[in-house]
Amino acid sequence: MFPQFETTAKNGYAMPTQTALIRRSIIDTSIGQMMVRTSGTPDPSRPTVVLIHQMQSSGRMWTKVMSGLAAIHCVAPDIPGLGDSDAPEQWLDAPGYAEAIFETVRPLIGEAGCIVVGQHAGAVYAAYLGAAHPDLVRGVLCIGYGMYEDWSQGQRGFYDVGLHKFTADGGGLVETWNTVTKNLPPETDVQTRVECFTDRLRGGPNFFAPYIGVYTVDRDAILSRLHDSGVTAVMMNPVSDPIVTPTSRRKQLAIMGIEPLTPDSGSWITLEAPHIVCDAIVELAGRAAG
């Protein structure tokens, strides 16, 4: 169903040997205009790959993965209020953000349905969408699905995100730069660092609204619903990703009953080793079709 591909090493990263033209467009939705990046050609015989980014970025974090998947039809939206997508005028919880994302990508999904891939907060949305729309979602890949012992542990995770207040004289900018870039691989080029920092600034006051939703939702219940839905799912826990704690690994295994993938990478695996993500998507699509 999906082609395999080869990669070559460049600047410390595994770079795809094939490339795809990535287009940007605006989708009108009930909460505003949403930015989406698309690549590949829609094919009625195989599912579209929907890519949901983590909070410290935008759909741009998937560009290397999209290039690696070459002709496969991929859609990478900016989460509402982040990147170049409009912020919702009213409060949304995690399911609300997930459904807003699904409304954005739904016109681009064909009869073959979709594979939904999400990282960190995006993984929570992906799991929710798999459970809520099993008629269209054929498979789910959750990368760095953080889980907690209790509500208070989750709240501590939220405050570790970096609540920096901006001031008229530029206060908070250096702190934000340090927060955004500290988890990037040391080899990350300056342009990528600037893009991630710019994505954070674009979010403005709304930047933390999606975080509140994903840090207060019952992640155990969402994952249980995904398991019960029968949708083919894969968990991926990069070994150097700080959000993947022993609690995360234990709960994922207990709920899903499957061993997660543990690639030697970190929280920016889409930049460090996009071929690993691509391989997992290809394998997942094959399992979902079988």
Query: Does a structural domain hold residue 92?
Result: yes
Provide the pLDDT for residue 160.
59
Provide the pLDDT for residue 17.
47
Q: What is the rounded average pLDDT for all residues in the chain?
A: 86
Taking 70 as the threshold, does the pLDDT of residue 164 lie above it? no
- Positions of E strands within the chain: 7-10, 13-16, 23-29, 32-39, 48-52, 74-77, 114-119, 137-143, 232-236
> Which tokens in the block code for residue 12?
């410390």
Q: What is Dmax (Cα atoms) for the chain?
A: 58
Residue 114: C-alpha distances to residues 83, 133, 284 (Å): 23, 10, 11
Q: Does residue 276 belong to any structural domain of this protein? A: yes
The H or E element that residue 67 is part of is: helix 63-68
Two structure tokens written together for 70: 């070459």
The percentage of the chain sitting over the pLDDT mark of 90, rounded to a whole number, equals 56
Q: Is residue 82 part of a domain?
A: yes
Rounded CA-CA distance 77/101 in Å is 7
Condensed to tens digits (0 to 9), the pLDDT of residues 258-290 reads 999 999 998 889 988 999 999 999 999 999 886
- CB burial of 226-253 (b: ≥16 within 10 Å; e: otherwise) equals bbebebbbbbbbbeebebbbeebbebbe
- In this prediction, residue 19 has a pLDDT band, given cuts at 50, 70 and 90, of low
Question: How many domains, in total, are found in the chain?
Answer: 1
The string of DSSP letters for 144-207 reads: S----SSHHHHHHHHHTT--PPP-TT-TTHHHHHHHHHTTS-TT--HHHHHHHHHHHHHHGGGG
Q: Does residue 87 contact residue 206 with C-beta atoms inside 8 Å?
A: yes
Within a domain: 43: yes
In a domain, 57, yes or no: yes
Mean pLDDT, residues 194-211 taken together: 77
Contacts of 17 (CB under 8 A, 6+ apart): 5, 6, 7, 8
In whole angstroms, give the CA distance from residue 226 to residue 256.
8
DSSP 229: H
Q: Label residue 24 by pLDDT band (50, 70, 90).
A: very high
Judge whether 2 lies within some domain. Answer: no
1 falls within a domain: no
Q: Does residue 46 form part of some domain?
A: yes
Q: Are 14 and 80 in contact (CB under 8 A)?
A: no
Tokens 């900018």 sit at which residue?
173
CATH number at residue 251: 3.40.50.1820
Per-residue confidence (pLDDT) for residue 152, from 0 to 100: 65
Which residue range is the domain that position 51 belongs to? 7-289
